[in-house]
Structure 1
Amino acid sequence: MNSSNAQPAPNRHPLGNISVLHVGVLLRAAEAEGVNVQALTRDFQLSEQTLTSPAARISIPRFMRLGHAAMAACDNAALGLRMGALSRPVDAGIAGLAGESAKTAGTGVQTLIGYSLLTSRNSRGTPTAEPGKRTLRFYSIRPYNAFNYFVVDSVLGGWTQFLRTITGQWNVLDKVTIEYPSLGMDELFEGWFCCPVQFGAATNSLIVKQDVWDQESLQAQPAMHEKLVQLCNTELQEIQRGWTTGDRVRSLLTPLFRGETPSLETIASKLGVTPWTLQRQLSAEHTGFRELMDDTRKQLARDYIRETETSLSEIAWLLGFSNPAALHKAYRRWFEFSPGEHRKHFRHYASK
């Protein structure tokens, strides 16, 4: 199930990007440490709309700056461990839920890691799981500094917490290895992970206890696991095919059309970028926001007319037009037919 060679679509962040699902864990940990997260999100221009959009990602550098600011605000260099402690399977999206419902803890954590591209990507590589060695590896970007220590801590801590959650056990590891050198918190780390922790190691990894790896998950549900894995595969295939920025915009437009015309600012916020950045990215793909919106409406209108019995007034609302007359005008521009004429045309050929 590992997808270590899979790469998501090219993007404007060469170091990688990360879902706001993980940003949410960081903010929850910061708030638990007494940080004013409202001020933090304001300073980093993270709107509520961005933070609640499943499609939104931010660049890895931005995530590291956010984490560094949070650690400075609470004076806790081990904030990454607090993030791990507060993480839940759902914070990894459908991959986390799929892993939680797997039969065993080993299969569960393999599922979680195997679909990590659904929520994060970095230039160093994709996390891997080696069942035979019960070893989980994370490849963090380098060089290490005060801005990215916490990333390693939070990932390894999150995986550990995932195992604890689905097994009900606290002592789940044989050993932890961390690439960056000791920062003088060895005792704290060994106490948190409940096992030896080696700093300055060749890799960032967890070695899971054999009995824990084989233990049945407390949340095992075979039918739900199969369904969620199917969803994960579908999303992973979309990433591997390489979605453009235009594709991501289109995917967000459809549910937002209902009764209104989505703005560039709304879509940019849901993608976690500024309107200017979104315009620039679309321009690089030789398209624009208005063009995408018009083309998306055109495709949807044709499908509604051809495939459904939906009334023209309802279609107008579904596509965000102010009234049926506006839909009628746009439809003639697109197809040189009125919506009613086109529906008759489709029905005529369908009956033959």
Structure 2
Amino acid sequence: MKLGDVSVAFVELMRLAMSRLGHDATPMLQQFQLDDLKLASPDARISIPRFMRLGHACIEVSDKPWLGLEMGRQTKAPHLGLAGLLAMSAPNVRISCQALATYELLSSFNARGRSQFKLEQGCGVASFYSVSPYNAYNLFVVDSVLCGWYHFLQWVTGRTDLVKRIEFEFSAPSYVDEYQGYFQCPVHFEATRNAVVLHEWALEIPSLHACASTYEALRRSAERELEHVRLGLSYRETVARAIGPLLDGNTPTLEQVAHRLNTAPWTLRRRLSAEGHSFQEVLNTTRRDLAVSYVRDTTLTLGEIAFLLGFGSATAFQRAFKRWTGEAPGRFREEKRRSYISTASSTSSS
């Protein structure tokens, strides 16, 4: 299992933000082998680790660590794909937010979690999952998503007073003063989640672009696309996707995974058996694949990866990783990074 991927529409958004900040992103796109033909493909995706490395490269070149905030300010419906167009034509803010969360999978997939929209003491809360701890590679992603939702709702309604507060899990970054220029509401750092919290009264504010017939046509299309994605998954893959978000600090049980899939434990076991798999096998394979992705594609420490995958200690994780791959995780990471640097250098010089 990979960590996830996103539509190349988000790369287009990054290029637009770089332009607004006075920089040309073309050299970075070329380095990452992203040409206009690929960016024009409706089915093209970029892995989350590669997207984070691209964003980091753009930040280093521009010296603008608040790149994600600018991406958020430039976010419009087309950048969010079918979910964005559906949210734009929705009758009000509540249904717009529900559409963004419900159909997020059509433009992005994160193996460890997904965005959610729920009511909390009358207020609407749109929350975004991101792997912590935070660093130069993923801060901009959270900035872009929360700032994107904030400005998208402004654009959809023409209102600047809908949001009660913005919550970030990470500590105030070095560019904290920049947030004042992007948000006209309180911004809280070191929160328990990444979220946009809407005023209770804001939920029924109508969209300036509401159109009942267009909304219904887009909703039907989005449902078909979502069903197509689901039907394309084997039951083993469905179970693996349910396991991912449950791994933080714990090893999920069969009962917990069955509950997440809204099915009985015996049904889950029977359906896996029909495909020739067992729950323990799927659990072990999911942990192994995520472990390889974390070690290869992120800067997380081995202790942090061990926690994210439900191991009791870094030592236990290292033993398991060597059993899975034949190499210690530190050596595996170093070899993959040398290979990546060598490939990037040859690409940029050709």
> Shorter-normalised TM-score: what interval?
0.5 to 0.7
Partner residue in 1 for 2:219? 229
Match among 94, 113, 119 for residue 125 of structure 1? 113
Q: 1:56 to 1:243 in 2, by over 3 A?
A: farther
2:8 aligned with 1:20, yes or no? Answer: yes
- 1:143 to partner: Cα distance: 2.8
2:29 aligned with 1:44, yes or no? Answer: no
Is the Cα–Cα contact under 8 Å of residues 126 and 138 in structure 1 kept in the other structure?
Answer: yes
- 1:196 to partner: Cα distance: 1.4
Aligned to 1:25, the other structure's residue is in SS state helix
Partner residue in 1 for 2:90? 102
- 1:123 to partner: Cα distance: 2.2
Aligned residues: 232
Structure-to-structure mapping, 1:2-81, within 5 angstroms: 14-81=2-69
Query: Matched residues in 2 for 1:184 and 1:69: separation?
Result: 18
Deviations 1:195-239 (A, max 9, x none): 111111110001012332211110110111011011111111111
- 1:243 to partner: Cα distance: 5.3
Aligned to 2:86, the other structure's residue is in SS state helix
Query: Matched residues in 1 for 2:220 and 2:149: separation?
Result: 22
Q: Which runs of 4+ in 1 moved over 3 A?
A: 184-187
Partner residue in 1 for 2:77? 89
Is the Cα–Cα contact under 8 Å of residues 123 and 200 in structure 2 kept in the other structure?
Answer: no
- 1:47 to partner: Cα distance: 1.7
Aligned to 1:134, the other structure's residue is in SS state strand
AA at the equivalent of 2:97: V
Partner residue in 1 for 2:208? 218
Query: Matched residues in 2 for 1:24 and 1:172: separation?
Result: 27
Is the Cα–Cα contact under 8 Å of residues 73 and 182 in structure 2 kept in the other structure?
Answer: no
Is the Cα–Cα contact under 8 Å of residues 122 and 141 in structure 1 kept in the other structure?
Answer: no
Partner residue in 1 for 2:229? 239
Unaligned runs of 5+ in 2: 235-350
Is the Cα–Cα contact under 8 Å of residues 109 and 162 in structure 1 kept in the other structure?
Answer: no
Is the Cα–Cα contact under 8 Å of residues 163 and 199 in structure 2 kept in the other structure?
Answer: yes
RMSD of the alignment, in Å?
Answer: 1.5
AA at the equivalent of 1:209: H
Deviations 1:79-118 (A, max 9, x none): 1110011110111111111111111012112111211000
Partner residue in 2 for 1:270? none
AA at the equivalent of 2:58: A
Partner residue in 2 for 1:166? 156
- 1:141 to partner: Cα distance: 2.2
Is the Cα–Cα contact under 8 Å of residues 127 and 193 in structure 2 kept in the other structure?
Answer: yes
Query: Matched residues in 1 for 2:83 and 2:53: separation?
Result: 26
Partner residue in 2 for 1:149? 139
- 1:191 to partner: Cα distance: 4.2
Deviations 1:114-138 (A, max 9, x none): 1100000112201000034300000
Is the Cα–Cα contact under 8 Å of residues 15 and 141 in structure 1 kept in the other structure?
Answer: no
Q: Give the TM-score normalised by the residue count of structure 1.
A: 0.63
Is the Cα–Cα contact under 8 Å of residues 162 and 202 in structure 2 kept in the other structure?
Answer: yes
Query: Matched residues in 2 for 1:195 and 1:204: separation?
Result: 15
Larger Rg: 1
Query: Matched residues in 2 for 1:209 and 1:38: separation?
Result: 40
Q: 1:242 to 1:133 in 2, by over 3 A?
A: farther
Partner residue in 2 for 1:189? 179
AA at the equivalent of 1:48: D
Query: Matched residues in 2 for 1:123 and 1:243: separation?
Result: 14
Query: Matched residues in 1 for 2:129 and 2:205: separation?
Result: 27
Is the Cα–Cα contact under 8 Å of residues 15 and 24 in structure 2 kept in the other structure?
Answer: no
- 1:31 to partner: Cα distance: 1.9
Query: Matched residues in 1 for 2:166 and 2:175: separation?
Result: 14
Query: Matched residues in 2 for 1:143 and 1:19: separation?
Result: 24
Query: Matched residues in 1 for 2:19 and 2:233: separation?
Result: 34
AA at the equivalent of 1:46: L
Partner residue in 1 for 2:324? none
Q: Give the TM-score normalised by the residue count of structure 2.
A: 0.64
Unaligned runs of 5+ in 1: 1-10, 245-352
